[in-house]
Amino acid sequence: MTDTVSSWRKVLDSGDTQKRYAQFVRERNDRINAFLEFDPGRSAAGEKGTDSTLAGLPFGVKDNIAVEGFRLSCGSRILEGLVSPYSATAVRRLQSAGARVVGKTNLDEFGMGSSTETSSFGYTKNPWDLTRVSGGSSGGSAAAVAAGLVPFAIGSDTGGSIRQPAAFCGVYGLKPTYGSVSRYGLVAYASSLEVIGVVARTVDMTERAFNAMRGSDTMDQTSMDAAEYDGAGFGDAGPIRKGEVSRIGVIGGDLGLSPGVASAYALSIERLRKRGYEIVEISLPMLEYVVPVYYTIATAEASANLARFNGIRYGLRPDYAENPDELVRIARDRGFGDEVKLRVLLGTYVLRSGFQDQYYLRAQKIRTAVRNELAAAYREVDLILMPAFPTNAFKAGGAAAGESALDPFQQKVADRFTSTANLAGLPALSFPVSIEEGVPAGMQFMAPPFSEEKLFLAGREMEEEFPAPEPPDFPARWR
């Protein structure tokens, strides 16, 4: 690990090394489209961080997180060409630790998708198989790390947008506790669900980046330090000794997993038993309702958050319109993709007068029930093991790609394992388990609030069993 970190620190040390690194990245990026913008020289100067754990390391930033001087497109035509005048708090904290932004990574438009195929700037290919998706919505960040373009990258996780692509690409993906990392500078999609997190090749690097970003921020009133957390129903959950993990909860029954993912799930349980963990089968009946509740709440919040994008102050503006109303209509029609339009329309529908009680408020009540059910489970176990996604990385192209692809509806239904953590505001870590059918298969641990150290503890043990693999055509380290 030390040698790997040292080699990464050298890529921006001198002009010659930086040029070779830039060529290395661009050649690889031409094949997978992980970066929408790459410029290692732009932020390499003037950053004098003293945190030796991250000092000098390059990293990528998902293009819905603000970085001063870089574009902020959110993968959408409506924001094409917009350059951010400021940096997100999470980015600034990483820079203060000495890490250096080298570019912006691709994503599903406004974070709405599970494959990075809804990006207006082309989808990101999986480094393990260029015919398959890298996952979404943080597919660019996961692919960039898996392909060896950066040692870590940050993204946002609204319903699994870090963990699922990390699992598809064979790397680690952390969704922190809601509020543990400031959302200031993250372009809002679903404000009560999303959080900035990390994708990295090792658990150690994941933890380093998270520790640099975490903590309350006066610019985000939903952020807090772990010491400020009052329990909120989870106060007596988990083990008595802080940070220790001994009992792992698993879900029994038919989970609707593909053969490869089912094999990886069983293998994870076997490895945990070998490591001395007690495996406890738990029941989570509310899991059945996670997807409809998640999409009801997420689309409602999206319809409000995306109302600001109207082609007037910035972004795409039509050359001609008869009046302001027509200008807004044309800008949104041309600027938003089909998936964004669908979710905004759904959200507007569930918030209509007469429908709020039937849909939105009912979803919020079920969300509380999901959270209560998880709180009860954590009185019996320390962590919960779940799949990150029911299938491995699927073929790009939707239904047209054949049986091994998933259409947009199937992708939404498959979000139930990851969306659970977002509805409850819990931290979760996805990790690689095995190679199935030529591509990685990943699982996730989910913990009580502000228990990230438990995730890292268990994650390190799983890393000893199966370190992050390297894609055959993309050796994952800068050499």
Residues classed as catalytic: 62, 137, 161
Question: In DSSP terms, which residues pair with 199 in a beta bridge?
Answer: 153, 173
Half-sphere exposure of 109 (CA within 13 A, CB side): 22
Instruction: Characterise 153 by phi-psi region: left (phi > 0), alpha (psi -120 to 50), beta (else).
Output: beta
Question: In DSSP terms, which residues pair with 441 in a beta bridge?
Answer: 434
Closest CA to 158 of 207, 119, 198, 191: 191
Burial category of 329 from C-beta neighbours within 10 Å (exposed 0-12, middle 13-18, buried 19 and up): middle
Q: How many CB atoms lie within 10 A of CB 85?
A: 9
**Residue 31 and residue 123 in contact, taking contact as beta carbons nearer than 8 Å:** no
Q: How far apart are CA 44 and CA 102, in angstroms?
A: 8
Closest CA to 446 of 389, 405, 387, 398: 387
- Strands 100-105 vs 172-175: parallel, antiparallel or unpaired: unpaired
Specify the residue for token string 């039937």. Answer: 358
**CA dihedral over 91, 94, 100, 102, signed as positive or negative:** negative
The stretches of 46-103 forming alpha helices (DSSP H) are 89-96
Between the alpha carbon of residue 248 and those of residues 41, 194, 204, 439, the distances in Å are 45, 26, 21, 26
Specify the residue for token string 């001994």. Answer: 246
- Strands 383-387 vs 247-251: parallel, antiparallel or unpaired: parallel
Q: How far is CA 228 from the centre of its chain?
A: 25
Tokens of 23: 């060529």
Q: Which positions ≥6 away from 427 have C-beta within 8 Å?
A: 174, 175, 176, 177, 180, 421, 446, 447, 449, 450, 451, 452, 455
